[in-house]
Chains A and B, each alone.
Chain A
Amino acid sequence: MSSVPSPIRIARAERSRAAVLAEKALEALIRLSGVSAILFVAAIFFFVLKEAAPVLFSEGFSLGQFLFSTEWYPTSANNVRYGTFALTVGTLSVTALAMLIAVPFGLGAAIYLSEFCKPRLRETLKVVIELLSAIPSVVWGFVGLTVMSKLIVNATGAPVGVNVLNGGIILALMSVPVIVSIGEDALKAVPDSFREAGVALGATRWQLVYRVLLPAARNGLLAAVLLGVGRAVGETMAVLMATGHAVHIPGSLLDSVRTLTANIAAELGEAPSGSDHYRVLFLTGTLLFLITLVVNLTADFVVRGIRRK
């Protein structure tokens, strides 16, 4: 900016220098908030990795063992082993079961709310569903530990009610509200002209949903499912209480497991900061971060693939 503003510009803008500066500052601020999301993600990843990095080069630690061994003995007196494979499998199995339950229910509810429901009922349902997502996860944990575990023992005859099935159902209940809210918004975002064109061509309501709305809202619906997956993978307290916390590759739905998140929550408090155990827990955090990154990227590629067709 030149120090002597040209008279023409002043005449056109008719604003004081302060106002111009304020606008510039505001613009910069808005741009900063836009970029800040990237900054935060990068910073979080950097600091988590920074805490974890020294252990990668320490003696007695092998990345292969960390990723593919099922032996998790962080505090052993004579043979310390850091294998997280059983924990990864625990996380994946509980999440997969939760999605198997939550996706049909969540998308079904979203379609019903957006296309078939009467307006007054819709408002009531939406408020209730939003309330459902406001229930704290530790309360879900209580439900899993007390109510659900008794139901599972009675229904299946399993010796212990805290297991993959319990955790999966609890996580499904927690992800459904997310999937419904975002999914409904995605369906609502499809322009009404699409619906009108469909009806004009003589499509039934079901054909309209199946042939027109679902393909048109595909990206939004996928985002809804992904947010549900994210909630399920990252959930800690509820799975800590509902899955039984046993380091074990599950052979059936009724086996107890431990997840990556629950393991970090249970052990980070005791690990002296700077110790190998502490650093391995941060490395587990990095692993979780990478798992969600891979899920998101895969979904992104899938969406682009569909779009190109």
Chain B
Amino acid sequence: MARLRSRAQLRMSALFLAATLAVPACGGGGSKEAKDAKPSNTVLQNKGSDTMVNVAQVWAEEYRKVAPNVEVEVSGGGSGVGIAALLKGAVDLANASRDIKPSEAEQASKNTGKSPVGFNVGADALAVYVHKDNPMSEITLVQLTDLYAEGGKVTRWSELGITIPGVKDDTIVRVSRQSSSGTYEFFREHALGNRDFRLGSRDLNGSKEVVELVGTTPTAIGYSGMGYATADVKMLKVAPKAGAPAVAPTIAAVHDKSYPLARSLHVYTLGQPEGAVKAYIDWILSPAGQKVVEDAGYVPVAAAGNATGALATEAPAPGAPPAPAAPQPKP
């Protein structure tokens, strides 16, 4: 029996060996051809915010048409992951849906001797999502705090005066983000007043996942970028406090700053950008790059003054005056 078994194993491993040998052989051939076609290929590494990863990917694809010899490799992971990679010098550009922290900037100058420079490349409204069958239409920041923050007491929809049709157990399913996410930190700072999240929320690893889970769960509530809305979810209007007018997350409301959970989207570089990195950022800030932002459901920046400066502690609104040391992008 032992002999039979080993023969079967031998057959299997031969099969796997053949497969593993075949795969890199194909891949190797392809990349070699590509290398021959474009000898001076520049590769830029771009990592960070999950909120911005879709936009960043379209930027990379569109930019390939403008500058065929520049390849931008985009990955997500969260604003914190992108900034951490930038501080180590592992990436050229970090996307962040929050401002860089003073401690992070300090770490960067300690590691590399350069300080990070930020560019305001767009704006986003952080939408509060519920299932489409949920009759709720607006929520206050106070209610959000009762729901999400540590020490908050609200656990059932009935406590907010909401009855969801066809649901027996109306325990609220809180959907949140992993702690490396810029969305997580922005929500904690601006919706919860920097109080900690109550434990027990489902902490998902992506903006899209939050909307998907809310879309399949009638008793769920979650927060994510407004660009991720689908037909299964509803965006709530948000009021700063009870009695104040509730505002829907729209482009106009982000521009006039009436929506309470609006934020800027940034791209950070280590030191002043040069060469291909500078050209890429200039293109992002050009009308073509900003059209991508708009098409993805986010808010493009106003025409002038796009740099947010290295150490900005407050999220500047789109069109905020540039920090003194920051570069003026070419129009």
A binds B: yes
Interface residues of B in 168-192 (CB under 8 A from A): 168-169, 171, 173, 178-180, 185, 188-189
CA distance A256 to B201 in the complex (A): 9
Bound: A180/B179 CA distance, A: 39
Chain B residue, CB-CB nearest to A162: B202
Knowing A119-B1, A188-B2, say if A270 contacts B12 (CB, 8 Å).
Answer: no
Q: Which of B5, B84, B180, B194 contacts A266 (CB 8 A)?
A: B180
The reply to whether B217 and A159 contact each other, CB–CB distance below 8 Å, is yes
Q: How far in angstroms is the closest Cβ of chain A from B132?
A: 16
Chain A residues whose CB sits within 8 angstroms of the CB of B189 once the complex forms = 77
| B220 close to A (CB within 8 Å) | yes
Find the A residue at minimum CB distance from B176: A246
Q: Are B81 and A123 in contact (CB under 8 A)?
A: no
Contact status B5-A247, CB under 8 Å: no
Chain B contact residues, majority secondary structure = mixed
Check: B269 CB closer than 8 A to any chain A CB. Answer: no
Q: Which of A79, A188, A248, A258 contacts B196 (CB 8 A)?
A: A79
**With A126-B5, A159-B219 in contact, is A272–B107 under 8 Å at CB?**
yes
Asked if A270 contacts B87 (CB within 8 A), the reply is no
Determine whether A130 belongs to the interface, using a CB cutoff of 8 Å to chain B.
yes
Cβ–Cβ contact A272 & B81, under 8 A: no
Q: In the complex, which residues of chain A have a beta carbon less than 8 angstroms from the beta carbon of B179?
A: 74-75, 267, 270
Asked if B4 and A270 make an inter-chain contact with CB atoms under 8 angstroms apart, the answer reads no
Q: Is B200 an interface residue (CB 8 A)?
A: yes
On whether the beta carbons of B194 and A78 are closer than 8 Å, the reply is yes
Say how far B182's CB is from chain A's closest CB, in angstroms: 10
Interface size class of B (residues with CB under 8 A): 35 or more
Q: Bound state CA distance, A97 and B179, in angstroms?
A: 28
Given known contacts A123-B4, A160-B217, is B81 in contact with A270 (CB within 8 Å)? yes
Contact pick for B220, options A153, A159, A188, A271, CB 8 Å:
A159
Is there a chain A Cβ closer than 8 Å to B104's Cβ?
yes
Determine if A70 is an interface residue (Cβ-Cβ < 8 Å).
yes
Question: Does B232 sit within 8 A of A, measured CB to CB?
Answer: no
Give complex CA distance A247, B194 in Å.
19
* A79 to B188 alpha-carbon distance, docked (Å): 13
Provide the A55-98 mask, 1 if CB < 8 A to any CB of B, else 0: 00000000000000011111111110000001000000000000
Q: Is B203 an interface residue (CB 8 A)?
A: yes
Are the C-beta atoms of B8 and A246 separated by less than 8 Å? no
Tell yes or no: A38 within 8 A of B by CB: no
Does A279 have its Cβ within 8 Å of any Cβ on chain B? no
A42 to B316, CA, bound (A): 51
Instruction: Tell me the minimal C-beta distance from B277 to chain A in angstroms.
Output: 23
**Which of B80, B87, B196, B204 has most A Cβ within 10 Å?**
B196
CB contacts (< 8 Å) of B220 on chain A: these are: 159-160
Beyond A127-B12, A160-B173, A266-B180, whether A246 also contacts B202 by CB under 8 A is: yes
Q: Are A270 and B202 also in contact (CB < 8 A) when A76-B196, A159-B173, A245-B178 are?
A: no
User: How near does chain B come to A80, taking the closest CB pair, in angstroms?
Assistant: 9
By a CB distance below 8 angstroms, the chain A residues around B272 are: none
Q: Is B240 an interface residue (CB 8 A)?
A: no
Complex-state Cα separation, A271 to B83, whole angstroms: 10
| Distance in Å: Cβ of B15 to nearest Cβ of chain A | 10
Question: Is A183 an interface residue, CB under 8 A from the partner?
Answer: no
> Which of chain A's residues has its CB closest to B179's CB?
A75
Q: Which residues of A contact B (CB under 8 A)?
A: 70-79, 86, 119, 123, 126-127, 130, 153, 157, 159-160, 162, 188, 240, 244-248, 256, 258, 266-267, 269-273
5 nearest CB pairs, A to B:
A270-B180, A270-B80, A248-B200, A247-B199, A269-B81
> CB within 8 Å of A: which residues of B?
1-2, 4-5, 8-9, 12, 77-78, 80-81, 84, 87-88, 104, 107, 168-169, 171, 173, 178-180, 185, 188-189, 194, 196, 199-205, 213, 216-220
Can you offer 18 A-B residue contacts whose CB atoms are under 8 A? A75-B179, A76-B196, A77-B188, A77-B189, A77-B194, A78-B194, A86-B199, A127-B8, A159-B217, A159-B218, A188-B1, A245-B202, A245-B203, A246-B201, A246-B203, A258-B203, A269-B78, A270-B84
Could you list 12 further interchain pairs (A-B, Cβ under 8 angstroms) beyond the known A157-B168, A269-B80? Answer: A70-B199, A71-B199, A77-B188, A77-B189, A77-B194, A159-B171, A159-B217, A160-B213, A266-B180, A267-B179, A269-B180, A270-B84
